[in-house]
Amino acid sequence: MTSKAHEPDLLDPFFEDTRSISEKLAATEREWRPHQPAHESPEIIAGLVLETGEYHSEYGEEPAPTLRLLDRQNHVWSVVGFHGRLRWEIKKTGLRVGDFVALAYRGVIPSKKKGLNDAYDYTAAVERNPDTVEIEQSRRGNDVLAGSDPVVSLPEDDEILDEVPEGAGDDIPF
Protein backbone atom coordinates (compact mmCIF):
# COMPACT_ATOMS: atom_id res chain seq x y z
CA MET A 1 0.00 0.00 0.00
CA THR A 2 1.43 3.38 -0.95
CA SER A 3 0.89 6.30 1.33
CA LYS A 4 -0.53 9.41 -0.25
CA ALA A 5 0.84 12.77 0.88
CA HIS A 6 -1.67 14.92 2.70
CA GLU A 7 -3.21 17.33 0.23
CA PRO A 8 -4.20 20.51 2.03
CA ASP A 9 -7.89 21.17 2.41
CA LEU A 10 -9.05 24.61 1.25
CA LEU A 11 -9.81 25.42 4.90
CA ASP A 12 -6.39 24.37 6.26
CA PRO A 13 -4.78 27.55 7.58
CA PHE A 14 -1.57 28.92 6.11
CA PHE A 15 0.20 32.07 7.24
CA GLU A 16 2.72 32.92 4.53
CA ASP A 17 2.45 34.06 0.94
CA THR A 18 5.03 31.73 -0.62
CA ARG A 19 4.11 32.45 -4.24
CA SER A 20 6.79 33.36 -6.77
CA ILE A 21 6.58 36.63 -8.67
CA SER A 22 5.20 34.82 -11.71
CA GLU A 23 2.52 33.14 -9.56
CA LYS A 24 1.55 36.51 -8.10
CA LEU A 25 1.23 37.96 -11.60
CA ALA A 26 -0.91 35.00 -12.65
CA ALA A 27 -3.29 35.32 -9.66
CA THR A 28 -6.97 35.70 -10.42
CA GLU A 29 -8.45 38.81 -8.79
CA ARG A 30 -12.11 38.32 -7.83
CA GLU A 31 -14.78 40.20 -5.92
CA TRP A 32 -16.63 38.08 -3.38
CA ARG A 33 -20.36 38.66 -3.91
CA PRO A 34 -22.06 35.38 -3.00
CA HIS A 35 -25.48 37.05 -2.75
CA GLN A 36 -25.36 37.88 -6.49
CA PRO A 37 -25.58 34.67 -8.57
CA ALA A 38 -24.23 36.44 -11.68
CA HIS A 39 -20.86 36.80 -9.90
CA GLU A 40 -20.50 33.03 -9.48
CA SER A 41 -18.84 33.46 -6.09
CA PRO A 42 -18.57 30.44 -3.80
CA GLU A 43 -20.55 30.54 -0.56
CA ILE A 44 -17.36 29.96 1.44
CA ILE A 45 -13.95 31.50 0.87
CA ALA A 46 -10.88 31.08 3.03
CA GLY A 47 -7.36 32.38 2.85
CA LEU A 48 -4.50 34.49 4.06
CA VAL A 49 -5.38 38.13 4.80
CA LEU A 50 -3.14 40.21 2.51
CA GLU A 51 -4.65 43.61 3.23
CA THR A 52 -7.29 45.30 5.38
CA GLY A 53 -8.87 48.69 4.91
CA GLU A 54 -12.06 50.71 4.69
CA TYR A 55 -14.43 51.75 1.92
CA HIS A 56 -16.09 55.14 2.30
CA SER A 57 -19.44 55.40 0.58
CA GLU A 58 -21.96 58.17 0.11
CA TYR A 59 -24.66 55.80 1.41
CA GLY A 60 -23.59 55.77 5.02
CA GLU A 61 -21.50 57.57 7.58
CA GLU A 62 -19.73 54.44 8.80
CA PRO A 63 -17.05 53.10 6.43
CA ALA A 64 -17.33 49.47 5.37
CA PRO A 65 -14.39 47.24 6.30
CA THR A 66 -12.50 45.74 3.36
CA LEU A 67 -10.01 42.94 2.95
CA ARG A 68 -8.10 41.09 0.31
CA LEU A 69 -7.40 37.44 0.89
CA LEU A 70 -5.38 34.82 -0.94
CA ASP A 71 -6.83 31.31 -1.22
CA ARG A 72 -4.99 28.06 -1.97
CA GLN A 73 -6.01 28.21 -5.65
CA ASN A 74 -4.18 31.52 -6.23
CA HIS A 75 -7.36 33.61 -6.22
CA VAL A 76 -7.13 36.97 -4.50
CA TRP A 77 -10.59 37.82 -3.20
CA SER A 78 -11.73 41.40 -2.56
CA VAL A 79 -14.30 41.58 0.22
CA VAL A 80 -16.28 44.68 1.19
CA GLY A 81 -18.48 44.56 4.29
CA PHE A 82 -21.48 46.36 2.80
CA HIS A 83 -24.04 44.10 4.47
CA GLY A 84 -24.48 44.71 8.19
CA ARG A 85 -23.85 41.13 9.27
CA LEU A 86 -20.67 40.79 7.16
CA ARG A 87 -19.46 44.17 8.46
CA TRP A 88 -20.06 42.99 12.04
CA GLU A 89 -18.35 39.61 11.47
CA ILE A 90 -15.24 41.26 9.99
CA LYS A 91 -15.02 43.81 12.80
CA LYS A 92 -15.59 41.34 15.65
CA THR A 93 -12.75 39.09 14.48
CA GLY A 94 -10.30 41.99 14.50
CA LEU A 95 -8.61 40.67 11.37
CA ARG A 96 -5.00 41.59 10.76
CA VAL A 97 -2.69 41.07 7.81
CA GLY A 98 -1.20 37.59 8.12
CA ASP A 99 -4.26 35.98 9.74
CA PHE A 100 -6.16 33.13 8.06
CA VAL A 101 -9.90 33.75 7.71
CA ALA A 102 -12.86 31.75 6.45
CA LEU A 103 -16.00 33.66 5.42
CA ALA A 104 -19.31 31.95 4.77
CA TYR A 105 -22.46 33.33 3.20
CA ARG A 106 -25.47 31.62 4.81
CA GLY A 107 -28.26 33.06 2.71
CA VAL A 108 -31.08 35.51 3.24
CA ILE A 109 -33.04 35.90 6.46
CA PRO A 110 -36.53 37.19 5.72
CA SER A 111 -37.51 40.32 7.61
CA LYS A 112 -39.89 39.75 10.52
CA LYS A 113 -41.25 43.27 10.26
CA LYS A 114 -43.30 44.48 7.35
CA GLY A 115 -41.59 47.16 5.31
CA LEU A 116 -38.03 46.23 6.35
CA ASN A 117 -35.49 44.63 4.03
CA ASP A 118 -34.42 41.02 4.30
CA ALA A 119 -30.97 40.49 5.83
CA TYR A 120 -27.97 38.77 4.28
CA ASP A 121 -26.42 36.34 6.75
CA TYR A 122 -22.67 35.66 7.08
CA THR A 123 -20.29 34.08 9.54
CA ALA A 124 -16.53 34.23 9.93
CA ALA A 125 -13.82 32.17 11.61
CA VAL A 126 -10.22 33.27 12.07
CA GLU A 127 -6.94 31.58 12.90
CA ARG A 128 -4.35 34.00 14.23
CA ASN A 129 -0.89 33.88 12.73
CA PRO A 130 1.22 32.50 15.59
CA ASP A 131 4.19 34.66 14.50
CA THR A 132 2.28 37.94 14.42
CA VAL A 133 3.33 40.49 16.98
CA GLU A 134 0.53 41.70 19.23
CA ILE A 135 -0.99 45.09 18.41
CA GLU A 136 -2.27 47.59 20.95
CA GLN A 137 -3.65 51.11 20.78
CA SER A 138 -1.29 53.97 21.58
CA ARG A 139 -2.19 57.00 23.67
CA ARG A 140 -2.81 58.80 20.36
CA GLY A 141 -5.33 56.17 19.21
CA ASN A 142 -3.11 54.49 16.59
CA ASP A 143 -2.43 50.77 16.30
CA VAL A 144 1.14 50.03 17.35
CA LEU A 145 3.23 46.99 18.19
CA ALA A 146 2.61 45.95 21.79
CA GLY A 147 5.06 47.61 24.17
CA SER A 148 6.40 50.06 21.59
CA ASP A 149 4.62 53.14 22.95
CA PRO A 150 6.23 53.70 26.37
CA VAL A 151 5.02 56.49 28.56
CA VAL A 152 7.91 58.92 28.79
CA SER A 153 7.74 61.63 31.41
CA LEU A 154 9.16 64.85 30.07
CA PRO A 155 10.50 67.45 32.48
CA GLU A 156 8.58 70.66 32.93
CA ASP A 157 10.13 73.81 31.42
CA ASP A 158 10.97 75.13 34.92
CA GLU A 159 12.91 71.94 35.73
CA ILE A 160 15.01 72.34 32.57
CA LEU A 161 15.75 75.99 33.34
CA ASP A 162 16.85 75.09 36.89
CA GLU A 163 19.56 72.85 35.40
CA VAL A 164 21.07 75.54 33.13
CA PRO A 165 24.07 77.25 34.82
CA GLU A 166 23.98 81.01 35.17
CA GLY A 167 25.61 82.72 32.16
CA ALA A 168 25.50 79.61 29.96
CA GLY A 169 25.21 80.58 26.32
CA ASP A 170 26.37 84.18 26.79
CA ASP A 171 29.30 83.57 24.45
CA ILE A 172 27.09 82.56 21.49
CA PRO A 173 27.48 85.25 18.79
CA PHE A 174 23.85 85.35 17.63
Domains in the chain: boundaries: 21-133
pLDDT value, residue 171: 66
Is the pTM for the entire model greater than 0.75? no
- Can you spell out the DSSP letters for 33-66? -TT-GGG---SEEEEEEEEEEEE--TT-SSPEEE
Interatomic CA distance for residues 12 and 152, integer angstroms: 44
Reading the chain (174 residues) residue by residue, the pLDDT tens digits are 444 555 668 889 988 889 999 999 999 999 999 999 998 999 999 999 999 888 888 876 788 999 999 999 999 999 999 999 999 999 999 888 889 999 999 999 998 888 888 899 999 999 998 887 666 666 665 555 565 555 555 556 555 555 656 666 666 665
The CATH topology of domain 21-133 is: OB fold (Dihydrolipoamide Acetyltransferase, E2P) (2.40.50)
User: What's the rounded Cα separation, in Å, for the pair 41 and 33?
Assistant: 6
Q: What is the pLDDT of residue 1?
A: 46
Rounded Cα distance, 25 and 21, in Å:
6
